[in-house]
Structure 1
Amino acid sequence: MLTITTKPFKALTTQELYDLLQLRSEVFVVEQDCVYQDLDGKDRKALHVLGYKDSELVAYTRLFNAGDYFEEASIGRVVVRQTERQHKYGYDIMKASIDAIKLNHNTSVIRISAQCYLIKFYNNLGFEEVGEEYLEDGIPHVNMVFNGLN
């Protein structure tokens, strides 16, 4: 079971920031073999959702208010440590992220830029594809929207 906490950037401890950057790098840069600029300057505006198993960060997302990233509120940098995926923590961290957007940003309309191989995962959470597939950092993506009615 995950212990999930949500914090604005300024409330993150140095250790939490290090852990979330390490997890993002471990998955998005090393595992997916994708060289990209993870430190994009947007973390300061985001709410950070941290999922801990015992004292280890194993799942993470960052959340944006409408207009800060997309026109709608959004969830990004969705990540679960590879060795922990069999526990379905992706669902736990995403459900907590959807709830945090409803609570903190007073909306339930959420847009994400999803890696295409995860479409069914996001469909299971109530997201639907909108628009055409596109490449982002060499990886096929598609925009998906959660309308809050699901």
Structure 2
Amino acid sequence: MPTAAKAVAALAFALVAYFAAQGVKAPGVMPEGTQFGLFSEITAAIGFLCGWIVMGGLVGRGYGEAAASGLRVSVTILFWALLGFAIYDMVLLSTKLRYDGPMEAVLDVFNIMMVNGRRILTVEILGILAVGGVLAGCAAEWAGKRWK
């Protein structure tokens, strides 16, 4: 059921994910010549869904729990974004016949996730996710209290 808390959580976490994606585009994070395309927009959509589904159901427990839940949602966004883009990279590699079989392709998804995860483990990106997650969680809690 749609609520104001879910809407605020979805919009707030979409913004957090968008700004984190913009941080990934900073020079020195990803290899030179990386084509990003709709990376920021897709990541924002992942943030929107995670905010609505995960954080939307966790409001109403107080601001301390909201801050912790906001961090949880930021980690969830990070996981789903890494997984989604790793699957996308694997499909691109498989169309170039880089794998000997389907199992090798599936296993490479986790390798791609680890490589990309190590690349984006910077203070700036983790700071955006942590601070943004706490603030977005508190904003969702505020909306839940404000518009019951």
Q: Normalising by structure 2, report the TM-score.
A: 0.28
Larger RCO (alpha carbons 8 Å, 6+ apart): 2
Question: Radius of gyration: which is bigger?
Answer: 2
Structure with greater proportional helix content: 2
TM-score normalised according to structure 1 size: 0.28
Query: Between Structure 1 and Structure 2, which shows a larger proportion of strand residues?
Result: 1
